[in-house]
A and B are shown apart, each in its own frame.
Chain A
């Protein structure tokens, strides 16, 4: 006689065993997904912290101190301005524009990982995914260090950046995008003015500086530059910069602003 109860028990064990591999695969996949999510989440957070730690104002101080210490000869100042502004331009790009891009990259990485995880050869791919993650993170850090590579990546990622920031600074980002394509100082000046209007003086300072670097004869750019400095509580530096500019350009508008700043009319 057949022991049906025993057989039923065995059958249940068999069923559980046959579903076990699938259950394991699902569990391990979700764990991997969770780990990658946490991993990138913390990465973006540390990046944001990193940005906060290095404000551009410090660079401004240092650079202008250097100018002060040197001879006030017109040509030398212009050269200095160019020299100084170069590294600033780069750090500015790196500090301000990289984070959003990394974020976009992370999203792309995650998307890649998810497509990979649907692969039938599960065990092997999970290993590969981990390797990929490691590789990707290492390239991320390398990008931060190698400033020269940054512009290239900017070009590739441009559409993504605008989508990211559109919510807050729609038109400015559009202009920045166009500026990056053609390096037209009129656009960077526009951006500087816009940022100045929005009260984002660090940004307006930066874009005015970029504009001055491309073309050092734009009066409006020097004015925004000086105004931003005042707003950033660098009144003395603003006065100094304007004086140097007036010496080379004899700009009456610059002189007017200089007087206003000196008299405390412009704050």
Chain B
């Protein structure tokens, strides 16, 4: 089955893939400034924002763009065991393999012995999952200026506190990612669909429909993805049920958006 609705549905699967990255003005500026910051002699960069604001996507894209030209490493899922963490970094950055456990002092020695021309950049996603102890070690590592860390954090009250206590004095740059505005949301949806050659469905998202979606998702990328995935799921279902409902690609009925919102739990019936 290769319907336009199925294709459109798959566009909104909640995956993080640099290929799917959509260029949005605000995100692009942030992206550029982060790229510049990496080149600057900063110790640490903190990237934070509410869940679903595109932090993982951002890091993935950054890694994808820079991995060929620079010494950059991305860890999407945190390595929670301290020894494992050092071992992984030692192997990836310094090509040093360890079979035994590796402690902080030993790893510090390796880091200091390196005389790299270029300081390696380590991107740590989901950093709120690291223990406070390991976080403190990461801070000490970055103080040596031998490794540069870009840390991505959920922004909640608790994590705000972590950000303040652990990084305030040491972080040289903080970058916040936010939900999309109405205009950005429209661009986001349409560009995403057009990337997958779903031009007809991209056209369905008038300003009115986007407004309705914005009301429900507040411009959160993940919520929007979920909503639109369900929306096109509804379309496909109607399509398969021999057109119980007259389907067209001129506009999205409010009913469908509301049904999708009920299904995804954005509104409670």
> When the two chains form their complex, are residues A10 and B238 in contact, meaning their CB atoms are under 8 A apart?
no
Residues of the B chain whose Cβ atoms lie less than 8 Å from the Cβ of A13: 269
Task: Tell yes or no: B80 within 8 A of A by CB.
Answer: no
Instruction: Give a binary string over B236-269; 1 marks a CB under 8 Å from any A CB, 0 the rest.
Output: 0110010010000000000100110011000101
Taking a contact as CB atoms under 8 Å apart, the answer to whether B262 and A7 are in contact is yes
Interface size class of A (residues with CB under 8 A): 10 to 19
Q: Is B259 a contact partner of A8 (Cβ separation < 8 A)?
A: yes
Q: Looking at chain A's contact residues, is the secondary structure mostly helix, strand, loop, or mixed?
A: helix
The CA-CA distance from A114 to B165 in the complex, in Å, is 60
A17: interface (CB < 8 Å) = yes
Count of chain B residues with Cβ under 8 Å from any Cβ of A? 14
Which of chain A's residues 42-63 have a Cβ closer than 8 Å to chain B?
none
Query: CB distance A7 to B267 under 8 Å?
Result: no
Q: Is the CB of B262 within 8 A of A4?
A: no
Is the Cβ of B255 less than 8 Å from the Cβ of A11?
Answer: yes
Are B267 and A14 in contact, CB atoms less than 8 angstroms apart? yes
B62 to chain A, nearest CB (A): 36
A15 and B255 alpha carbons, distance in the complex (Å)? 9
> Contact at B234–A2, with CB atoms within 8 Å?
yes
- Residue ID in chain B nearest A11 by CB atoms: B259
Q: Is A1 an interface residue (CB 8 A)?
A: yes
Instruction: State whether A11 and B269 are in contact (beta carbons under 8 Å apart), knowing that A2-B233, A2-B263 are contacts in the complex.
Output: yes
**Shortest CB–CB separation between residue A157 and chain B, in angstroms?**
52
Chain A residues whose C-beta falls within 8 Å of the C-beta of B258 in the assembled complex: 11, 14-15
Question: Could you say which residues of chain A place their CB within 8 Å of the CB of B259?
Answer: 7-8, 10-11
A7→B245 CA distance, assembly (Å): 14
Docked pose: A8 CA to B238 CA in angstroms: 11
**Residue on B nearest A6 in the bound complex, by CB:** B263
Distance in Å: Cβ of A9 to nearest Cβ of chain B: 9
Quick check: B269 and A4 within 8 Å, CB to CB? Answer: no
Residue numbers in B under 8 Å from A17 (CB-CB): 269
Nearest-CB residue, chain A, relative to B262: A10
By a beta-carbon cutoff of 8 Å, the part of chain A in contact with chain B is 1-2, 4, 7-8, 10-11, 13-15, 17
* Residues in B lying within 8 Å of A, measured CB to CB: 230, 233-234, 237-238, 241, 244, 255, 258-259, 262-263, 267, 269
Q: Can you list 29 contacts pairing A with B, beta carbon distance less than 8 Å?
A: A1-B237, A2-B230, A2-B233, A2-B234, A2-B237, A2-B263, A4-B234, A4-B237, A4-B238, A4-B241, A4-B244, A7-B234, A7-B259, A7-B262, A8-B259, A10-B259, A10-B262, A10-B269, A11-B255, A11-B258, A11-B259, A11-B262, A13-B269, A14-B258, A14-B262, A14-B267, A14-B269, A15-B258, A17-B269
Please list the 5 inter-chain residue pairs (A to B) with the smallest Cβ-Cβ separation, ordered nearest first. A14-B269, A10-B269, A4-B237, A2-B237, A11-B259
